Amino acid sequence: MRVLVGDIGGTKTGLGIAEVEDESVTLELHRRYPSRKSVSLGEIVTAFLDETGCGCSAAAFAVAGPVVAGRSKTTNLPWQIDAAALQKSLGFERVGLLNDLEAVAWGVPALSANELAVIQHGAPDAVGNACVVAAGTGLGEAGLFWDGAHYRPFATEGGHTDFAPTDDREFALLNYLQKRVGRVSWERVVSGMGIGTVYEFLAQWHKATHPPAVAEALRSDGDIAAAVAEAAHNGHSISQEALELFAVLYGREAGNTALKHMAMGGVYLGGGIAPKNLALLQGAGFIEGFLDKGRMRGLMERIPVRVILDSRTPLYGAARYMVAQIG
């Protein structure tokens, strides 16, 4: 079955044509568009169809935000997306709308071993529920219920739950953020903006001077996370501490999500940050944050943790979702 699929993020919107056969998904004509340069998803889809000349009877779109009754107000874009309206305006027989992390969860079974990087092997006989935790523009989370034969993906908005500090430095980080934004969610610290926030907190805490690249990014509202990563690579100690703390916090929230889902079948790290920072996440900080669950540490050691390397996974998942809906 052929499905037009889309992954609508706060920064980029990816579109393609997917061919689905059993668990296998083949993606054709994959293109990416800057999300904020368009006023709506319909505008981007129309441009894609005009450019490629391809037509499908069904489409499925993974959206960065909660989806209720076929509608979504995207979290990091000023868009209102309505599946029924898109179906009518674009001429599809059927349009599906699902949360982007639910789409990643649907896509996980379509991935091969070489599209995953191991953070923790876990138990060799690992089976059961699984979950996805994805730091990117924001922090997305989803679950995969194991029914004994198949995974049943479902959406959550777990990234917006309350951030919980565990030591003096993290309590100071919480206090710093509360003064800036009020309520503090995990997304505030485990995301692209979280890297910048953690850095800015540490620079103030240590009364440190910004390195040139970071100072320029702060001054011009540029990519602070990329500047911090560059400064860390060049040996800047506060930037290195920021990345190390970010890794610990990412590991801690991934562990929280694993416990809440009893994810003995594994934790999958999606989003754009993990594959670009594999060495960081494969270091001691992430896994220590993941395992640091008191009496549950032994349980946590049994859970496989892997990084999703293929950025097209939400598109695979959107296609599998639509095929399942059509039956």
Q: Is 167 annotated as a binding-site member?
A: no
Integer Cα distance of 146 and 130 in angstroms? 8
Q: Which tokens is 155 given? A: 């959406």
Q: Is 308 annotated as a binding-site member?
A: no
Neighbouring C-beta atoms of residue 176, cutoff 10 Å? 18
Q: Is 50 annotated as a binding-site member?
A: no
Q: Is 10 annotated as a binding-site member?
A: yes
Q: Is 44 annotated as a binding-site member?
A: no
Distances (CA, A) of 251 to 69, 75, 229, 315: 33, 23, 18, 26
Secondary structure of the chain as H, E, C letters: CEEEEEEECCCEEEEEEEEEECCEEEEEEEEEEEHHHCCCHHHHHHHHHHHHCCCCCEEEEEECCCCECCEEECCCCCCEEEHHHHHHHHCCCEEEEEEHHHHHHHHHHHCCHHHEEEEECCCCCCCCCEEEEEECCCEEEEEEEECCCCEEEEECCHHHCECCCCCHHHHHHHHHHHHHHCCCEHHHCCCHHHHHHHHHHHHHHHCCCCCHHHHHHHHHCCCHHHHHHHHHHCCCHHHHHHHHHHHHHHHHHHHHHHHHHCCCCEEEEECCHHHHCHHHHCCHHHHHHHHCCHHHHHHHCCCCEEEECCCCHHHHHHHHHHHHHHC
Residues in the annotated binding site for ATP? 6-11
Residues in the annotated binding site? 6-11
